[in-house]
Amino acid sequence: MTPELGQLALILALLLALAQGILPLIGAWRGNRALMAVARPAAAGQAVFVAIAFGILVWAFVHFDFSVRYVADNSNLALPWYYRIAAVWGAHEGSLLLWIFILNVWTVALAAFSQKLPEVFASRVLAVMGLIAVGFLAFIIFTSDPFGRLLPMPGDGGDLNPVLQDPGMTFHPPVLYTGYVGFSVAFAFSIAALLGGELEQAWVRWARPWTNVAWAFLTCGIVAGSWWAYAELGWGGWWFWDPVENASFMPWLVGLALIHAQAVTEKRGSLRAWTILLSIFAFSLSLLGTFLVRSGVLTSVHAFASDPRRGVFILAFLTIVVGGSLLLYALRAPKVAGGKSFKLMSRETVLLIGNLMFAVAAAMVLLGTLFPLVGDALNMGRISVGPPYFGFLFPLLMLPVVLLLPFGPFLRWGKSDTPILKQVLLRAGIAAIACAIVAAFFVDGQPRAIAGVASLVWLGVGVALYAAKRWREMPRGRRYPAEMAGMLLAHLGVGVFVAGVLITESLSVTSDVRMAPGQTQHIAGYDFRFDGVHQTTGPNWRADQGVVTVTRGSDLVGVMHPQKRTYLRGQVQTESAVDAGLFRDLYVALGEPMDTANIEGAWSLRLYYKPFVRWIWGGGLLMMLGGFTCAADRRFRIKRIVESETVEVLLVQETHA
Amino acid sequence: MSRLLPFLGFMLLVALFGFGIWWNTGHDPQAIPSPLLNKPAPAFALPKLYEPTVTVSKSDLLGKPYLLNVFASWCVECEVEHPVLQAETSTLGVLLVGYDYKDAPEDAKRWLSEHGNPYGLLIADQPGQTAIDFGVYGAPESFLIDGKGVIRYKHIGPLTADVVATELKPAIAAVLKESP
């Protein structure tokens, strides 16, 4: 009976979403305050019912209700409770339920914090959120019901996809979705502005922290996904340009452009149309990501579902949402280039160049992701556009970004003078070149590794110079407002990330070896001794577990236990062993036994030495931290939009006092 | 006009996706004829489930058509399929061979005693190696193999009463017509 209550809750949520999506729009159009006032209670009600539905599905998993098909397909009696909860979003239906649940969390936050916005504008924003919810709820109810029954009820269920049975994967989807869905706020805000026909700078200021938070979550989700792929898939790579990775990377790139464009629009009033267009694109790409992953148009390891009905539904939804908003943009976008003008040598110019690079990079990734589909459609067979395409074009596009990054903060809005820039160029440039020369001796003259060190120093010194300038020139307490601290953190993160990528890619050592117990392999100064394989068991798997003792000279570095697990339902999963360190990872994956009858004999093993690989994720985490820090700036938490100017004056007086 | 560009570009994408969906629907990956269809079935030699010392090979089964049904005790969809097999086994007109896939023999025997045994012959592929030769995606799958050892029909997923009536039985009739 309970699963049917979940279904009922979803239907009620859909009705409330319809009310939230339609009535306030009519109210805002007609100037009817009663209709506008529907938005908030409807949003709250919808959130309650969606939460009930979500809770019922969690309950069904926790209590082994195998009469629910989704539960029976994705869990079994031996699955530990934490993976049973993660199994809620382990496949198609549940991950959509998670999507709508997170959308409701964002909507409720929006309803709570939008009290300061003009009523007409706030109700339009909430209505757009409601319309998005209508689409997703209808999608769940009509094509992807997570509460469908399985009769007769099986005694035990299937299994959660074993690659998902990993701590990294339990929180990767919720965090990633929080980012994806968070772009809906900037989107709703832009659509509301287009509907109203005006875009106040103060409203952009209000929207900025939301975009920053969404982007930071997306960053965190992508980092978690990358780390999971590294630890779990056993190939030792951290990014594969897989269509599903690309699906999350495209909104990230556009979101990055959006964050910077919003800053320009808020502070200078220029780039209004571009900001609106980017916020439409960021959310559209989030939807597109869902479409690509869930429709089965692109088949990859992630595409669990391929039901044409679903594909058609998402495509129709996408056409209405994205097509509709782009048409609205064509008709109503601000016609006159507003805001203050700027010279070539100005902060606007570098931000615009960065924006352009991110947008082109996103388009490049989109093209590379969709190209195989075109090939398929034209019957040229499956063409895959792999790392050579992305790996060549992406660094090329990011090169100007890295080169210009240190100058950005030093440039002034509107018009800037050159002496200070020459100073930055000289200091950061000399430091980078000097460090590169020193580094060349340590990395065997590997050009990419040298470039990695140089970029880190270039960006790091750029950040440090600006931090020092603020320290000298500003009074205490006003040196590093959160917005600026976040910017510096994130830019430093770029340096750490670039260094990690270039050094790992050029200096990693991989070795596929056949080892008999007692044999030793020497890699990058470490001795890996294979001490044989024995059997072990876990809650829902048994495994062949290898023992590899790593020593360096006479010091014991660690004992590693790579596994080859066989899960309850027969799926085999490699569980690699990683000895992590700030400057290097040692990584061992268990291959196959040379003789299947004698697992205690020789095995094939894959050994990696990966210098600075943690810096890749460290850089990502710094960027994430930067995003969150920016959003915390008190400047964004103004009392009331209409009084914003006076409030700012008050704030300034307070800090002076 | 330039403001319409994003819209037009997006519409191009929509057309592409629409085409992609249409193409995928028309060319359902599950409906793609197996490369083994109308080819000789791979040679196999597998132990009987209830008499593991006796091996059944492909040549033992030559001469008469049979339906090879891949199942396993761990397979949820097989429980859906099983009642259909129980009901239809006597009306098929060919031998129903159960192919126990990646399964512990005790589990399979317990499962069969719980759900009933519609099979005329049961073979077990515990390591799952032979299934790779057959191109098995997962259980359940069914192969109709004629008297000359050629695969004539293949179904992925559970056999439903509908599939049996509209696809399997006509295929069996065609095979039986050829081999007197």
pLDDT in tens, A10-50: 999 999 999 999 999 999 999 899 999 999 999 999 999 99
> What average pLDDT does this structure show over A409-435?
89
In this prediction, residue A1 has a pLDDT band, given cuts at 50, 70 and 90, of: low
Contacting residues of A for B29, CB less than 8 Å apart: 299, 306
Cβ separation A284–B10 shorter than 8 A: yes
Neighbours of B106 (CB within 10 A): 9
**Could you tell me how many CB contacts below 8 A there are between chain A and chain B?**
76
Residue B15 lies in a domain: no
In this prediction, residue A643 has a pLDDT band, given cuts at 50, 70 and 90, of: very low
d(CA B145, CA B151) in angstroms, rounded, equals 4
Question: What letter represents residue A628's amino acid?
Answer: F
Query: Would you say residue B31 has pLDDT above 60?
Result: no
d(CA B122, CA A333) in angstroms, rounded, equals 70
Most confident of A292-306, A612-626, B2-16: A612-626
Phi, psi of A556 (to 5 degrees): -80, 125
Tell whether A520 is within 8 A of chain B (Cβ). Answer: no
* CA-wise closest residue to A230 among A508, A571, A549: A508
Q: What pLDDT is attached to residue A655?
A: 39
| Residues ≥6 apart with Cβ < 8 Å to A84 | A61, A62, A75, A160
Tell whether A302 is within 8 A of chain B (Cβ). Answer: no
Q: What pLDDT is attached to residue B19?
A: 75
d(CA A648, CA A293) in angstroms, rounded, equals 45
Higher pLDDT, B180 or A104: A104
Phi, psi of A580 (to 5 degrees): -85, 150
Q: What pLDDT is attached to residue A375?
A: 66
CA of residue B144 relative to chain centroid, distance: 8
Residues in chain B whose Cβ is within 8 Å of chain A:
3-4, 6-7, 10-11, 13-14, 16-21, 23-25, 29, 72, 74-76, 79, 102-103, 128
Cβ separation A376–B11 shorter than 8 A: no
Two structure tokens written together for A75: 């869990």
Residue B10 lies in a domain: no
Q: What pLDDT is attached to residue A649?
A: 39
| Residues ≥6 apart with Cβ < 8 Å to A331 | B3
For residue B15, what are the CA distances in angstroms to A203, A243, B19? 35, 20, 6
* CA-wise closest residue to A409 among A331, A354, A328: A354
B-contacting residues of A 154-173, CB under 8 Å?
154, 157-158
> What average pLDDT does this structure show over A597-620?
90
Share of chain A above pLDDT 90, in %: 53
Tell whether A330 is within 8 A of chain B (Cβ). Answer: yes
Query: Would you say residue A335 has pLDDT above 70?
Result: no
Query: Would you say residue B35 has pLDDT above 70?
Result: no
Mean residue pLDDT across chain B: 83
d(CA A29, CA A511) in angstroms, rounded, equals 67
Cβ separation B14–A150 shorter than 8 A: no
In this prediction, residue A376 has a pLDDT band, given cuts at 50, 70 and 90, of: low
For A295, which of B13, B21, B102 is closest by C-beta distance?
B21
d(CA A339, CA A333) in angstroms, rounded, equals 15
* CA-wise closest residue to B40 among B175, B145, B161, B158: B145
> What average pLDDT does this structure show over B102-118?
86
Cβ separation B25–A308 shorter than 8 A: yes
List, in sequence order, the alpha helices (H) in A410-446. 419-442
Question: Contact at 8 Å (CB) between A190 and A203?
Answer: no
Cβ separation A306–B24 shorter than 8 A: yes
Strand bridging mode B141-145 / B121-125: unpaired
* CA-wise closest residue to B30 among B158, B155, B123, B160: B155
Query: B1, B2, B5, B10: which to substitute to probe chain A, counting the most A Cβ within 10 Å?
Result: B10
In this prediction, residue A354 has a pLDDT band, given cuts at 50, 70 and 90, of: very high
Two structure tokens written together for A21: 């999506």
Q: What pLDDT is attached to residue A114?
A: 87
Residue B31 lies in a domain: no
Domain residue ranges in chain A: 1-165, 195-414, 415-505+620-628+643-656, 509-614
Neighbours of A431 (CB within 10 A): 18
Query: Would you say residue A530 has pLDDT above 90?
Result: yes
The rounded radius of gyration (Å) of the Cα atoms in chain A is 27
Beta bridge partners of B143: B68, B154
In this prediction, residue A647 has a pLDDT band, given cuts at 50, 70 and 90, of: very low
Q: What pLDDT is attached to residue B36?
A: 72
Give the residue numbers spanning the domain of B63.
Answer: 39-178
Per mean pLDDT, which range of A138-142, A620-624, B36-40, B119-123 is the poorest? B36-40
In this prediction, residue A498 has a pLDDT band, given cuts at 50, 70 and 90, of: very high
The rounded radius of gyration (Å) of the Cα atoms in chain B is 21
**Overall domain count for chain B:** 1
Strand, coil or helix: B99: strand
| Total-model pTM | 0.81
Per mean pLDDT, which range of A153-167, B45-59, B79-93 is the poorest? A153-167
d(CA A264, CA A274) in angstroms, rounded, equals 10
In this prediction, residue A263 has a pLDDT band, given cuts at 50, 70 and 90, of: very high
d(CA A274, CA A606) in angstroms, rounded, equals 49
Query: Would you say residue A295 has pLDDT above 80?
Result: no
Neighbours of A408 (CB within 10 A): 18
Cβ separation A297–B10 shorter than 8 A: no
d(CA A610, CA A500) in angstroms, rounded, equals 10
Query: A327, A371, A379, A541: which to substitute to probe chain B, counting the most B Cβ within 10 Å?
Result: A327
Most confident of A517-521, A573-577, B86-90: A517-521
Question: What letter represents residue A606's amino acid?
Answer: R
Q: What pLDDT is attached to residue B24?
A: 61
* Helix, strand, coil percent content, chain B, rounded in steps of 5: 45, 20, 35
* Helix, strand, coil percent content, chain A, rounded in steps of 5: 65, 10, 25
CA-based angle A447:A398:A627, to the nearest 5?
Answer: 120
Strand, coil or helix: B174: helix
| DSSP string for residues in A326-339 | HHHHHHHS--S--S
Tell whether A344 is within 8 A of chain B (Cβ). Answer: no
| Residues ≥6 apart with Cβ < 8 Å to A482 | A629, A630, A632, A633, A634
In this prediction, residue A234 has a pLDDT band, given cuts at 50, 70 and 90, of: low
Strand bridging mode A563-567 / A572-575: antiparallel
d(CA B78, CA B102) in angstroms, rounded, equals 14
CATH, residue B69: 3.40.30.10
Place of tokens 């979003």: A89
For residue A347, what are the CA distances in angstroms to A50, A242, A417? 44, 35, 11
Q: What pLDDT is attached to residue A430?
A: 94
Omega of the bond leading into A539 within 30 degrees of 0 (cis): no
In this prediction, residue A593 has a pLDDT band, given cuts at 50, 70 and 90, of: confident
For residue B85, what are the CA distances in angstroms to A632, A657, B31, B49, B160? 63, 86, 22, 18, 9
Query: Would you say residue A653 has pLDDT above 50?
Result: no
Helices A613-631/A201-232 angle, 10° precision: 160
Q: What pLDDT is attached to residue B26?
A: 57
